[in-house]
Structure 1
Amino acid sequence: MSAHSVPATGDPGLQPERTALAWSRTSLTLAVNALLSVRAGFIAGEPLLVSVGVILFGTAGAAIVVATLRRRQLSGDTLTITPPRGALAGLTAATLLACIAGIVSVMATNGGGA
């Protein structure tokens, strides 16, 4: 997928700002989930959950980089409509990993779901 750019109009509305804020909120959510996963892993003595939390911290950092890039792309004289290559697939994988980590942390802190 190649980048699709259009000239910025005088007033593009709030859509570019909402898009950039959505990326920022997603990265914040990943960081919070990473903290919760690491905490639950330490409390339950689950090193796998701690490592998933550390991986989520890395993906949260990557999402912050993408959010910054998107904010710059959407605030210039030319609006770049498409996100960076692989960003959507990477964010989808990170979100799925965060969901799995949340489920595992609930099961680990509740004694295996019993």
Structure 2
Amino acid sequence: MTSAPPPARDPGLQGERTALSWTRTALVIVVNALLALRSGWVSGQLLLTAAGIVLVAAAIGAVLYGSRRGRALAGRTHEVPPAAPTTAIAIVAATTLLACVTGIASVLVAH
């Protein structure tokens, strides 16, 4: 007697929601990065300019990771989508915090 194949996985919109949330996070990071780059460049603050460059790189990483994860969750790849690693979540949280602090610093430097 053969067993029935497992039911097809129905990911619903989970992959799309995940990719969109990573894209929104990257957008917030990019906006703060651009603020920091502009303020750092105008005021001559090397640290603020460097933080802006780091944030642009982090935003690119967030978009790439989010699109890969979204495709995996949507079932468009053959890899099994594990839970997001805690290190990725911690890195994004720290980057978002850095983006907020940098955005605030860029506003304070401008005045």
TM-score range, shorter chain: 0.7 to 0.9
Question: 2:107: which partner in 1?
Answer: 106
Question: Runs (4+) of structure 1 moved beyond 3 Å?
Answer: none
- Greater helix share, structure number: 2
Aligned length: 102
Determine the C-alpha separation between the residues in 2 that align with 1:93 and 1:46: 22
Give CA-to-partner distance per residue, 1:7-62, whole Å, 9 cap, x none: 622xx332331121101111122122111110011112211110100110111111
- Greater strand share, structure number: 1
Question: 1:4: which partner in 2?
Answer: none
Q: TM-score, normalised by structure 1?
A: 0.78
Determine the C-alpha separation between the residues in 1 that align with 2:42 and 2:12: 47
Structure 2 residue runs of 5 or longer lacking an equivalent are 1-7
Structure label with greater radius of gyration: 2
Determine the C-alpha separation between the residues in 1 that align with 2:50 and 2:25: 20
Structure 1 residue runs of 5 or longer lacking an equivalent are 1-6
Percent identity of equivalent pairs:
43
Alpha-carbon RMSD across the aligned residues, in angstroms, is: 1.9
Determine the C-alpha separation between the residues in 2 that align with 1:78 and 1:51: 36
